[in-house]
């Protein structure tokens, strides 16, 4: 099975991408995903309004390092000129620009951004055209199937993006109205792949390496973007690569779970300080523990921990003593 993927001028080592996730896909998470085979990782969505106002918080969301490349920067906004200005400000900070046209969150759609753009194909056209002329970086858009069940228009939006110079389209085939309910309709990914000539990247309900293989086989898409399936499970990338190459997947042994979770904490502490790291790592540790015996007690204990040494000891006891 072909595992290479080229997006515009960007040649990726494989076809597995870490999806943008707000509050989650920061530098430590991206580094760990890369170590397991993610060929391209995304920042969480960054407001162009914040960027053009020189907002420190917005630029902090794009903080990266030499090992964190290639990096996709995801922008959200509803104004073509502002998005173009935001793209210019991103020059040198990453290797690809993605425009969020899928976020269903009320605060984002209320400002006309995210999936609200799907209701306005003319605006989509202006945005892609404006950003295309503002940057020479590869440009992608990430969309949902449509706003609601009666307004499914991903083929139209995909064609517009392609006509205006986008280098790839990512589709999470749920409507905005669905939020995360029901199943992602992978047939939409297959239809989009048949319609466009630029690469199509599939997203939605990839919780295991087997799911990744199934989406690639079923839809013919060029690459996949993994989101919730990578939470506490960076190994999904190496496992999906192994299956694509016809090898057996190697799940992580307890020592590896421990060492990766411990590295996650250390990287977090290095970038955000110990206090923030311990607080933020609580949710990640709950994900790392998913499916393991004693996970409920571990979760309860971890959520009470306030210091790094205590967290490291709890992790050691949970992952290593089994």
Ligand X SMILES: Cc1cc2nc3c(=O)[nH]c(=O)nc-3n(C[C@H](O)[C@H](O)[C@H](O)COP(=O)(O)O)c2cc1C
Would you name the residues annotated as active-site residues? 103
Binding status of residue 24 toward ligand X by CB under 6 A: yes
Choose between 159 and 287: whose C-beta lies nearer to ligand X. 287
Give the Å distances, CA to CA, from 107 to 46, 47, 111, 114, 268.
14, 12, 7, 10, 28
* Minimum distance from residue 205 beta carbon to ligand X (Å): 5
Q: From the list 8, 50, 77, 102, which residue makes contact with ligand X (rule: CB under 6 A)?
A: 102
Task: Please report where in the chains the tokens 């280098």 appear, as a residue.
Answer: 167
Distance CA 261, CA 267 (A): 10
* Minimum distance from residue 283 beta carbon to ligand X (Å): 10
* Minimum distance from residue 85 beta carbon to ligand X (Å): 20
Choose between 142 and 319: whose C-beta lies nearer to ligand X. 142
Binding status of residue 215 toward ligand X by CB under 6 A: no
Binding status of residue 21 toward ligand X by CB under 6 A: yes
Distance CA 183, CA 91 (A): 37
Q: Provide the 8-state DSSP code for 152.
A: B
Looking at residues 223 to 242 of the shown chain, list those that interact with ligand X (rule: CB under 6 A).
226-229
> Residue 86: which of 123, 40, 139 has the closest Cα?
139
Range in contact with ligand X (rule: CB under 6 A) among 19-27, 129-137, 161-169, 293-301: 19-27
Distance CA 220, CA 159 (A): 18
Looking at residues 160 to 179 of the shown chain, list those that interact with ligand X (rule: CB under 6 A).
172
Looking at residues 30 to 59 of the shown chain, list those that interact with ligand X (rule: CB under 6 A).
44-45
Burial letters for 204-229: b for 16+ Cβ neighbours within 10 Å, e otherwise?
Answer: bbbebbebbbebbeebebbbbbbbbb
Contact residues for ligand X, defined by CB under 6 A:
19-22, 24, 44-45, 74, 100, 102-103, 142, 172, 203-206, 226-229
């Amino acid at each position: 099975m072909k595992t290479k993927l080229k997006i515009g001028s960007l040649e990726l080592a494989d076809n597995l991408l870490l999806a943008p996730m707000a509050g989650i896909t920061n530098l430590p998470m991206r580094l760990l995903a890369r170590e397991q085979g993610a060929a391209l990782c995304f920042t969480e969505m960054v407001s162009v309004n914040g960027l053009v106002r020189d907002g420190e918080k917005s630029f902090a969301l794009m903080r990266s390092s030499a090992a964190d490349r290639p990096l996709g920067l995801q922008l959200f906004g509803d104004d073509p000129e502002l998005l173009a200005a935001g793209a210019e400000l991103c020059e040198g900070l990453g290797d690809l620009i993605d425009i969020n046209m899928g976020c269903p969150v009320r605060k984002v759609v209320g400002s006309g951004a995210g999936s609200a753009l799907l209701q306005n194909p003319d605006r989509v056209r202006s945005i892609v055209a404006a950003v295309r002329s503002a940057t020479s970086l590869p440009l992608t858009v990430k969309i949902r199937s449509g706003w609601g069940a009666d307004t499914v228009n991903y083929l139209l939006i995909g064609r517009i993006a392609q006509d205006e110079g986008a280098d790839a389209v990512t589709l999470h085939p749920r409507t905005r109205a669905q939020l995360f309910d029901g199943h992602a309709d992978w047939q939409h990914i297959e239809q989009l792949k048949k319609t466009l000539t630029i690469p199509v990247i599939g997203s939605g309900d990839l919780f295991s390496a087997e799911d990744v293989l199934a989406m690639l086989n079923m839809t013919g898409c060029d690459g996949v973007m993994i989101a919730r399936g990578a939470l506490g499970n960076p190994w999904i990338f190496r496992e999906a690569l192994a299956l694509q190459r016809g090898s057996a997947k190697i799940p992580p042994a307890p020592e590896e779970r421990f060492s990766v979770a411990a590295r996650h904490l250390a990287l977090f502490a290095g970038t955000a300080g110990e206090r923030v790291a311990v607080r933020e790592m609580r949710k990640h540790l709950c994900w790392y523990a998913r499916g393991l015996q004693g996970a409920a007690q571990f979760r309860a204990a971890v959520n009470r921990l306030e210091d790094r040494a205590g967290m490291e000891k709890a992790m050691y006891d949970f992952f290593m003593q089994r």
